[in-house]
Amino acid sequence: MSKLFGKEIKPLTRACNLAAVPDIRYYFNKPRANLYVMVNNVCQANCRFCTQHGDYRKFDFDKFQKVIDELRRTTDENELCLSKINFTGGEPLLYFEKFEKLYNIIFEKFSFNELGNGNVVINTNGIGLKTLTERNDIMKNIGFVSVSRHHYDDKLNEEIFQTNTLPTTEDIKNFSLKNQGKLWLRCNCIKGYIDSTDEVIKYTDWAIDVGCKHCGFTSLMELNDYCKENYVYVDIPTIETLSLVTSSFRYDDNDKLCCNCNRSYYLNDKDDWCDLVTWNRNLEADSPKDGILVFDGEYLRYGFFGEVIC
Ligand code: SF4
């Protein structure tokens, strides 16, 4: 156990905490944690499957500074070191100056190497992508930007997000041309949109075309009526043109399966490739909170929606 603000935290023991496969032999030398920063709990989009945005909440920058100072101390004393920082939301790039302020607080105290040589990640719907394309000073410290994009067609993508504020195919291409290897795409499989193996292949071909080498697909989690009505399961690992590389399974403390993740390799007919990941969460199992720290704008919590640390 590690201690943060005097509270005991069970650290992460290996890099991919999803992978509970027995033949992973590499464990961290130091106790580590991932920090998720919920920059905003609001968003300009209006996805019907969303449960993540609420009313505007003030962000406590002083407390965030205290958290980063404490993590600096625990890092210096080898008590708890960071493995990854994830900017998330709502939409983290909604107010770019706010994101930049948090970015500066972090990088005034930590170097790129101390944060896993690029394990700082932004999870966005893409609203700030054009700005990031021009910000080499910020992008040099960002490992990758994970963009939610639920259709290859710009108009259908807008329809899902119910906004016209998102980057077009051309904008995404420009970003990835300037930031090679730093674009990840995440797609929800939704009835009537990406809902079959053919659609997954079309999406992946489009992803390769915009310069993406890593895309992920998931089914809607049954969080509301829209999700239930539009849920579709696409059996992606069985697609003939994919080679399954690994399957990993994560269990909770009671041996209940929490999630399953499949990583595959896709090669198109021009010999261009892309990694393709699918994951499924079991909502009936609790998600282990080992090494998961979440700053929700007001409090630092142990695990998502977990108990308050400070
Ligand atoms: S982009 Fe994300 S946070 Fe915004 S409405 Fe859609 S799911 Fe919710």
CA distance linking residue 115 with residue 57, whole number of Å:
28
In words, the CATH class of domain 32-308 is alpha beta
Q: How far is CA 124 from CA 6, 107, 302, in A?
A: 33, 20, 23
Is 43 touching ligand 1 by the criterion CB < 6 Å? yes
Residue-wise pLDDT tens for the chain (310 aa)? 889 999 999 998 776 644 555 566 667 889 999 999 999 989 999 999 987 767 778 899 999 999 999 999 999 999 999 999 999 988 999 999 999 999 999 999 999 999 877 899 999 999 999 999 999 999 999 999 999 999 999 999 999 999 999 999 999 999 999 999 999 999 999 999 999 999 999 999 999 999 999 999 998 987 789 999 999 888 887 888 888 877 777 777 677 777 778 888 999 889 999 999 998 777 777 777 889 999 999 999 999 888 999 9
Residue 288 confidence (pLDDT) = 75
Is 91 touching ligand 1 by the criterion CB < 6 Å? yes
CA distance linking residue 4 with residue 75, whole number of Å:
11
Nearest to 281 by CA among 244, 251, 302, 236: 251
| Residue with CA closest to ligand 1 atom 6 | 47
The structural domains of the chain, with segments of one domain joined by +, span: 32-308
Burial of 97 (0-12, 13-18, 19+ CB in 10 A): exposed
Residue 79 confidence (pLDDT) = 94
Report how far ligand 1's centroid is from the alpha carbon of 161 (Å).
7
Residue 26 confidence (pLDDT) = 66
CA distance linking residue 42 with residue 91, whole number of Å:
6
Q: How far is CA 70 from CA 39, 61, 112, 168, in A?
A: 19, 14, 18, 40
| Residue with CA closest to ligand 1 atom 7 | 50
Report how far ligand 1's centroid is from the alpha carbon of 124 (Å).
9
Q: How many CB atoms lie within 10 A of CB 263?
A: 20
Phi, psi of 7 (to 5 degrees): -100, 140
Adjacent-strand bridge partners of 145: 122, 183
pTM of the model: 0.92
Task: Please give the angle made by the CA atoms of 71, 73 and 75, to the nearest 5 degrees.
Answer: 65
Report how far ligand 1's centroid is from the alpha carbon of 48 (Å).
9
Strand segments, DSSP code E, in the chain are 2-4, 7-9, 32-38, 81-88, 120-124, 144-148, 183-189, 214-219, 242-251, 257-267, 273-281, 292-295, 300-302, 307-308
Is 68 touching ligand 1 by the criterion CB < 6 Å? no
Is 94 touching ligand 1 by the criterion CB < 6 Å? no
CA distance linking residue 309 with residue 282, whole number of Å:
26
Is 89 touching ligand 1 by the criterion CB < 6 Å? yes
Helix/strand/coil for 170: helix
Q: Which ligand 1 atom sits closest to the C-alpha of 148?
A: 1
